[in-house]
Structure 1
Amino acid sequence: MTVNVLFAHNDVNWDVYKGTLEKALTDAGVPANLSRDLTPEEVDYIVYAPSSPLQDFTPYTRAKAVLSLWAGVETVTGNATLNMPLARMVDFGLTQGMTEWVTGHVLRHHLDIDYTLRHQDGDWLPRVPPLARSRRVSVLGLGALGSACAQALAGLGFPVSGWSRSPKQIDGVSCYSGDAGLKATLEQADILVLLLPFTPATENVLNAESLSWMPQGACVINPGRGQLIDDDALLDALDDGKIARATLDVFRVEPLPAEHAYWAHPNVTVTPHIASETRPETASEVIAENIRRGEAGEPFLHLVDRGLGY
């Protein structure tokens, strides 16, 4: 029996995903009609991005699940009309992309590459960084992305600690949870990586008080969510030297406004939300597998806990 799959995203992404989704569904053995023009009453599954114009799910009475193309779903979890299962995107491409970006920027700060680039003026200034074993890295958020990044950094020889709301056990990583655990994790953060989801409980997790717990001259890397940081507190910490450098990929307002202080700050690197994009080929495989599972009566992958918000 053919299933009807509504692609609820924009024109550009339809052009990108149409072929890969059709192939993935065929490879998964799912006969499917993939379209942008289905009436609500005939839709079995919704392939979705939270930025989609589709915000009222009430008419989709037959749909079995909403399958997000994004890892972040905080803007849709509170939608009162969404009463069916919601799955977020967790896939190899997203995880690998994030791991590569985080590892690259941790190494950049660890090796002080920015210092080297700033002093290309003819002076021979030997500046030997410590070995990784002497640079402590902390990761806030130990979900799929945070765990992968923490393990990759531990594999390079960094002492890695991580914090999450609920207790976790990860080989090679010292794991903490709870309020006391957050303070302990930040106290060990020569380099801090933020990979928490945005929820009311995580907003401004990095603020004036929590920044004060970090070692003098620490570095902050945020590929998670802009709302995790109190911007004024971070700028103050950068100005007084408590924080030496920050690399920021996500912001409260995107694109980051041209007048924002981050652009001009000499110790801030801004990147345009590129830490990890969803890769159509691998994301399509996850979507197809969830549709196959739905048709076979098996549990969906990566379901969102609406109470927690992720």
Structure 2
Amino acid sequence: MIPWVNALKAKRPTLDLRIYPDDTNREEIEFALAWNHPLGAFRKYPNLKCIASMGAGVDHILKDPDLPEAAIITRVTDQNLARDMAEFTVALVMNHVRGLSFYKRQEHKHLWKPKPYLNSSDITIGVMGIGVLGSYVATQLNILGFKVSGWARTTKEIEHIDVYVGQEELDAFLGTANILICLLPLTKETINILNKQTFRKLPEGAFIINVARGEHLVERDLIDFIDVGHLSGASLDVFREEPLPQNHPFWEHPYINITPHIASITNPATAVSQILENYDRLRNNEPLIGAVSLTKGY
């Protein structure tokens, strides 16, 4: 919280900034900036008009059953988040394509056994979720020479990217994805979407990358499909429980790479400009940037 406080004060020294739970006169507060707030906390603010997420995700807000009905929910749409996510995802893709994790396992055994690597021109990467982050990631991978397809809830037009739409086109999308990247928002429709039914429809040897939310993945199904050889492995940056428990089977699995939810982290210094602009827009009764549809969940 301190970096956000410092960034807001640096950008606007005169801002009337109050910090939970030590804030007072809560009936005066109309705009809240939050991340993983205590559930039910917003009931204490009778005149709240906007709840702004500190990041691109809003599931941590929407899971609260006691949200004020009149409050608009917003998310950060900082371009730096898209760049950072693309860089990280490209790194995971190239790690798989060039077999770097394979050689790390060889290194631990003092083995010198080269093997052929995959060629980008022979690989189709499927990106689940073609929003701000997903479309940028897909475009950057395409620039590197990969054939890239996307899957979205509604029709999207992205140059050089084949976008499949809706449940009726999901099987066709999965059928060509040698690498499947999950960048979906977490909603009631997408929870547990990375499951055995999904994995079964992927080509044999497909690789999974999850940089969205841990609740997208059915963990046992992933392990089972890797162990039988249908999936070649996975790189996971998000988990159902974070930090990942010390006794979790992912830690010891040789074909699962783990990173501690660091793919793309909001930088308060760059994000506060949008937060403050939305604060001004709210006071001027203007449309807010990054407003979330409560029916869609994103």
How much has 1:125 moved relative to structure 2?
A: 4.0
2:181 counterpart residue number: 193
Match of 1:5 in 2: none
Local SS of the residue matching 1:35:
coil
2:49 is aligned, of 39, 64, 89, to: 64
SS of structure 2 residue aligned to 1:306: coil
Structure 1: stretches of 5+ with no match in the other structure: 1-12
Query: Take 1:283 and 1:102, find their aligned partners in 2: how far apart are those partners?
Result: 21
* Residue 107 of structure 1 pairs with residue 107 of structure 2: no
- Counterpart amino acid of 1:305? S
Correspondence list, 1:264-275, <5 A: 264-275=252-263
Provide the secondary structure at the position in 1 that maps to 2:42. Answer: coil
Equivalent position of 2:76 in the other structure:
89
1:260 corresponds to: 248
Give the TM-score normalised by the residue count of structure 2: 0.91
Alignment of 1:24-173 (within 5 A): 24-25=11-12, 32-36=15-19, 37-49=23-35, 51-53=36-38, 55-78=40-63, 79-83=65-69, 84-120=71-107, 125-173=113-161
- Structure 2 contact 43–66 (Cα < 8 Å) conserved: no
Q: Which amino acid aligns with 1:33?
A: D
CA distance in 1, matches of 2:205, 2:189: 27
5+ long unaligned stretches in structure 2: none
**How much has 1:235 moved relative to structure 2?**
0.7
Describe the superposition over 1:129-148 as per-residue Cα deviations: whole angstroms up to 9, x where unpaired.
24312111111011111111
SS in 2 for 1:104: helix
Shift of the alpha carbon at 1:122?
7.0
Q: 1:292 deviation in Å?
A: 2.2
* Residue correspondences, number: 292
SS in 2 for 1:255: coil
8 Å contact 2:127–2:149 — kept in the other structure? yes
Q: Which moved more, 1:65-74 or 1:98-107?
A: 65-74
Higher alpha-carbon deviation: 148-157 or 35-44: 35-44
User: What's the C-alpha RMSD, in Å, of the aligned pairs?
Assistant: 1.9
* TM superposition shift of 1:191: 0.8
CA distance in 1, matches of 2:59, 2:229: 33
2:225 alignment partner in structure 1: 237
Name the CA shift for 1:69/1:122 in 2 (closer, same or farther; >3 Å).
Answer: closer
The answer to whether the 8 A contact 2:236-2:258 is kept is yes
How far did residue 110 of structure 1 move?
1.2
8 Å contact 2:225–2:231 — kept in the other structure?
Answer: yes
The verdict on how the C-alpha distance between 1:156 and 1:258 changes in structure 2, with shifts beyond 3 A counting, is: same
8 Å CA contact 2:121, 2:145 repeated in 1: yes
